[in-house]
Structure 1
Amino acid sequence: MSNIKILWVDDEIDLLKPHILFLEKKNYDITTCQSGADAIEDVDRNNYDIIFLDENMPGLSGLETLTEIKAKRPNVPVVMITKSEEEYLMEEAIGSKIADYLIKPVNPNQILLSLKKNLDHSRLVSEKTTASYQQEFRKIAMDMAMANTYEDWVELYKRLLYWELELENIEDIGMVEILESQKTEANTQFGKFVEKNYPGWFSGEESPVMSHTLFRELVLPELEKKAPTLMVVIDNLRYDQWLAISDTINIHYKEKSEKPYCSILPTATQYARNAIFSGLMPVEMEKLYPKLWKNDTDEGGKNLYEADFLNEQIRRLGLDVKWEYHKISSLRAGKQLAQNFKSQKGNDLTVIVYNFVDILSHAKTEMEVIKELASNDKAYRSLTQSWFRNSPLLEIIQQSQQLGFKLIITTDHGTINVKNPSKVIGDKETSLNLRYKTGRSLSYENKDVFAVKRPGDIHLPSINMSSSFIFAKDDLFFAYPNNYNHYVGYYRNTYQHGGISLEEMIVPFVVLEPR
């Protein structure tokens, strides 16, 4: 504890000699002053880590001295010590951004606690967090080995994210690296779990709520309660990004229920989001609505008919509701809806699809911009938070709260920061996505993928008779051998989706009620 320099200002400093000796024994370096004027001169000449300041002194009062000190050294913590318990003094001192407030007579342990609280807070929190995670590490590792249901994996993923958010605020790089390796191991095990269980979820085995059952299982029960509802589907919103924006939303709404659901494979917009709105898997969409469904190799937009799909699902479910659908893909469109949102007040259901990654940056530079601004998950969360706080979507949510709307926040799938390439070879008809491929005669590294030879087994359409699907596991991305190094350099450390990972498949579904 050496080198901590304290200035103690009190006109009766001699009476505090026992306190000063107590602190000096603990290696604190104490300088004393007996007036505010002397203290201000001293602060001009010396840097202190913390200042103890008596409020009631002849000449300059403690509050007057505080103002002068803060003008010269705005970042130094000042602890005010006073005989008075008058409220106005406390309010003035707190308003002047004091670090702590102690009432005389003070004992040495009070002073020590104040020092630790103000100077050691970060270190103490860091040590406690590190020790707690070290204890939890083994338990998570054991639970990971035992996880055999989707719910088990949801709980594990939530725990890993909890520690990720706790550890991101401390300076222990070693602990962060240990957590990263545990997350990597979790994704490897989750990949094996999905490969083993996913096909069975379509044949009557116990399955989680998935994209195509989301509306029926989780949205419909909310609509049956007859409260006007705003459902916001934020494109690409990972569970940790939801946690990053939830504090801002919680100013206006309180959480009623939260149930992460499972995105279907591929974890890509044209598959997962169409499944949400149609209530069908892609092979059924292709069969029942051939004019609305487009495969990877078809020309044109793949998500142009979400409103039509939703209309058909509402009809099939026999729902008698007044509803509207809006897709926001630009800042201008978001502002326009925010300006006119009051027009939605007569609806039972208002659905907004918000393509926030598109809005974050222009499509052509999207990847380079996000790569620059969000080189890791912590930065990506921070970018999401900053975008949300300044977006028309927040204005829309504020207005929906004022209109008494229930709020549902969800997404179609998440994304993962891809770090390692996996070589793949396909013909010119092969799909372009970096985390999944569909086509004929695919060559790939078996260990890197979940391969599905018969797409119908997982309710996906076949582009032709011999089409198969492969899904990347872990943090891999597919790269063709030709122009390999350029390709790998360009896409490494970017956010992609379409494959199998906790980040892509375990995604938020949250119901909130207005405060």
Structure 2
Amino acid sequence: MRAEGLKAAIAELQATTDEHLRQWVTKHYADLPSLPVAKGPVMVHHVPRFLSMRRGAGEAKIALLVFDGLAVDQWVQIREALAKRAPKLGFEESACFAWLPTLTSVSRQALFSGLKPREFADTIESTSPEPTQWSRFWQDQGLRANEVMYRKGIKRTDQLAELGAAISAPSIRVAGMVVDTVDEIVHGAVLGKRGIAAQIESWCESGFVDQLFSLLLDKGFHVYLTADHGNVEAVGQGRPNQGVAPELRGERVRTYRSETLVSESAAANPNTYRLDVAGLPANFMTLFAGGRAAFMQQAEPAVVHGGISVEELLVPFVKISYVS
């Protein structure tokens, strides 16, 4: 698949069935990490490299906002809310692919490090290395440590004054920030996507999102927004029967450290499938829940992530600026 065919591929994926998507991923996903990024990131680990290219093109100060867990449909809702609240904001929109499995420790770590997961095999089950990885990437691009900032846990308007003071430091050239609100809403959802939409609407009405964007733009930053993964409505099919616990227990995926364990779990649990994901560590094997199912209590509905649905796998990549 050539890079110029990416938009067509995204449109095709959005119209496909889950089974066809699984076939597409099996056939094409391994090609994505090596595609060129000059026109935009194809996968989330391309984002730092693309931003470095933008700095080389004259965007001296860059802010990357990672809205943890934000699906494309939820970005569209935020954009529409901002069109009413803050019409001076403009958006250049595209999308890129999360890493599989679409778990935070895998895909968000790839996003901040600029690495494929097999290149951070020792920390693949944690997000704690992100500040160091983000700083290391930019130091490799010639910046000093005190010119790079990383923050997470940003979600409320009462945090913006302190954030504004931090990014006002004359040395700061690159800022990476995790906005956790959507992921917290998703993990606490009891009314599905409809309930999530109502909470996102209320969050937008608080003014946090447009104030955050304006704060960064007013400080002279070129602002980019993306996510580590999206989310999907699923229904519980029961928790896997297995004698040995997996390494990571996602609602849509289990991971194992040995071929024997993943094979035994696959054989013991119907409506699951294995997928060999290029770019993962050799000893990090995945078992996905089939269709729109989840490894949860039987028939329990939930909004979850970890799998390969379009809603989980495609994330927004947006440049935010003022329009005249």
Find the aligned partners of 1:428 and 1:343 in 2 and give their Cα distance.
46
Residue in structure 2 matched with residue 310 of structure 1 by the alignment: 134
Find the aligned partners of 1:329 and 1:428 in 2 and give their Cα distance.
37
Question: Does structure 1 residue 219 correspond to structure 2 residue 51?
Answer: yes
1:497 to 305, 310, 313: 305
Taking the TM superposition and a 5 Å limit, the aligned residue runs for 1:37-436 are 150-156=6-12, 186-201=17-32, 209-216=42-49, 218-224=50-56, 225-250=58-83, 251=86, 252-255=88-91, 257-286=92-121, 290=122, 293-295=123-125, 302-319=126-143, 322-328=147-153, 331=156, 335-345=158-168, 346=170, 347-357=172-182, 359-360=184-185, 366-367=187-188, 370-371=189-190, 374-375=191-192, 377-390=193-206, 392-419=208-235, 421=237, 424-430=240-246, 431-436=248-253
- SS of residue in 1 equivalent to 2:203: helix
In the alignment, residue 198 of structure 2 is paired with which amino acid? S
Find the aligned partners of 1:206 and 1:513 in 2 and give their Cα distance.
25
Question: Does structure 1 residue 459 correspond to structure 2 residue 279?
Answer: yes
2:298 to 473, 488, 494: 488
Change (3 A) 1:340 1:263: closer
Find the aligned partners of 2:137 and 2:224 in 1 and give their Cα distance.
18
Find the aligned partners of 2:234 and 2:21 in 1 and give their Cα distance.
16
Find the aligned partners of 1:438 and 1:223 in 2 and give their Cα distance.
37
Counting helix residues as a fraction of each chain, which structure ranks higher? 1
- SS of residue in 1 equivalent to 2:275: strand
In the alignment, residue 176 of structure 2 is paired with which amino acid? V
Name which one, 1 or 2, has greater alpha-carbon Rg: 1
In the alignment, residue 62 of structure 2 is paired with which amino acid? T
Q: Is the 8 A contact 1:263 1:412 kept in 2?
A: yes
In the alignment, residue 512 of structure 1 is paired with which amino acid? I
- SS of residue in 1 equivalent to 2:311: helix
Residue in structure 2 matched with residue 468 of structure 1 by the alignment: 285
CA RMSD of aligned residues (A): 2.9
2:273 to 430, 449, 464: 449
Unaligned regions of 5+ residues in structure 1, if any?
1-148, 161-184, 296-301, 480-486
Q: Under a length normalisation based on structure 1, what TM-score does the superposition of the two structures give?
A: 0.53
- SS of residue in 2 equivalent to 1:434: coil
Change (3 A) 1:434 1:153: same
Find the aligned partners of 1:336 and 1:514 in 2 and give their Cα distance.
23
How far is 1:358 from its partner? 5.5
Q: Which has the higher contact order (CA 8 A, sep 6+)?
A: 2
How far is 1:348 from its partner? 2.1
Find the aligned partners of 2:288 and 2:82 in 1 and give their Cα distance.
34
**What CA deviation, in whole Å up to 9, does each residue of 1:35-91 have, x standing for no partner?**
xxxxxxxxxxxxxxxxxxxxxxxxxxxxxxxxxxxxxxxxxxxxxxxxxxxxxxxxx
Find the aligned partners of 1:205 and 1:514 in 2 and give their Cα distance.
30
Q: Is the 8 A contact 1:341 1:396 kept in 2?
A: no
Q: Is the 8 A contact 1:338 1:395 kept in 2?
A: no
Find the aligned partners of 1:187 and 1:272 in 2 and give their Cα distance.
21
Change (3 A) 1:316 1:354: same
Change (3 A) 1:474 1:153: farther
In the alignment, residue 344 of structure 1 is paired with which amino acid? I
Change (3 A) 1:434 1:380: same
Find the aligned partners of 1:383 and 1:264 in 2 and give their Cα distance.
27
How far is 1:236 from its partner? 0.4
Q: Is the 8 A contact 1:228 1:404 kept in 2?
A: yes
Find the aligned partners of 2:90 and 2:236 in 1 and give their Cα distance.
40
How far is 1:200 from its partner? 4.2
Aligned-residue identity in percent: 22
Find the aligned partners of 1:324 and 1:389 in 2 and give their Cα distance.
28
Change (3 A) 1:461 1:154: same
Q: Is the 8 A contact 2:155 2:208 kept in 1?
A: no
Find the aligned partners of 2:78 and 2:155 in 1 and give their Cα distance.
20
How far is 1:473 from its partner? 4.4
Find the aligned partners of 2:161 and 2:13 in 1 and give their Cα distance.
34
Q: Is the 8 A contact 1:338 1:392 kept in 2?
A: no
Q: Under a length normalisation based on structure 2, what TM-score does the superposition of the two structures give?
A: 0.81
Residue in structure 2 matched with residue 437 of structure 1 by the alignment: 254
Find the aligned partners of 1:339 and 1:315 in 2 and give their Cα distance.
25
